[in-house]
Amino acid sequence: MSNFNSKLRGLLYLVGFIWAAFALDQLTPINLLGYGILPRDPSRLWGVLLWPFLHANLSHIGNNTITLLVFGAIISLRSSSKRFLLVSFLITLYGGLGVWLFGRPELHVGASGLVFGYFGYILTSGIYDGKISSVLISTAVMILFGGMIWGILPTQARVSWEGHLFGFLAGVVLAVRSKPRRKRF
């Protein structure tokens, strides 16, 4: 049981920090939303690291938290807490840089880019890591959550589809790069 708890510790800390930032934004005069990504504005490049911690309202953070916990638990339980946090950081960084470079000139906030990154990571891991358990997990995720893929398209004006797209691509790239190295003969 303690191994189970230690594997989920990083995920629980991450979700706790996201909710703490939301509470700070809602309960104090500090406007944290202004710290999100504003594409191609050099003075706002730091938003690349902060965007998953910032949410517009309770519905926004609630929806992100559910899928963040599901996908984060899948990744956490299949790796170490340290690996989970590294994957989370790199999805945030790479996805955020994609949004900063190519996104619409709007404010981009929310953990959905990270959620889509986990989604891409899980789906791609099923193809690249060579384990039947990974194939089964990625197939189940595709069956249960496959409709999410439409979120990478510009369907709603107030939704950062760019965050979804670049988060997803970051997860795919990380899964491909982390595939086990086969012995060469």
Percentage of the residues of the chain whose pLDDT score is greater than 90: 84
Domains located in the chain, CATH noted: 2-177 (1.20.1540.10)
Which of the two residues, 80 and 66, has the higher pLDDT score?
Answer: 66
String of DSSP letters for 8-35: HHHHHHHHHHHHHHHHHHHHSS--GGGG
Tokens for 116, please give them.
């889509």
- Residue 184 above 50 pLDDT? no
Return the percentage of the chain with pLDDT > 70, whole number: 96
Q: Residue 157: pLDDT above 60? A: yes
153 DSSP assignment: S
pLDDT at 183: 43
d(CA 154, CA 15) in angstroms, rounded, equals 27
State how far the alpha carbon of 35 is from the alpha carbons of 49, 52, 60, 184, in Å.
Answer: 10, 11, 17, 47
Statement: residue 55 has pLDDT above 50? yes
Q: pLDDT for 68-127, tens place per residue?
A: 999 999 999 999 889 999 999 999 999 999 999 999 999 999 999 999 999 999 999 998
CA distance 9 to 2: 10
- In 10 A of CB 132, how many CB atoms? 8
pLDDT band at 6; cut points 50, 70, 90: confident
Q: What is the structure's pLDDT at 119?
A: 98
Cβ neighbors of 47 (< 8 A, separation 6 or more) are 35, 36, 37, 38, 96, 100, 108
**Amino acid making up residue 131:** K
Q: What is the pLDDT of residues 129-145, one digit of tens each?
A: 878 999 999 999 999 99
Q: Are 112 and 151 in contact (CB under 8 A)?
A: yes
Does 160 have pLDDT greater than 70? yes
The tokens describing 96, both together, are 């955020």
DSSP code, position 108? B
Task: Check: CB of residue 172 under 8 Å from CB of residue 163.
Answer: no
CA distance linking residue 74 with residue 16, whole number of Å: 18
Token duo for residue 51: 């965007």
Stated as kind and residue range, the H or E segment containing 87 is helix 81-102
How far is residue 8's CA from residue 6's CA, in Å, rounded to a whole number?
A: 5
Give the pLDDT confidence score for residue 182 in this predicted structure: 52
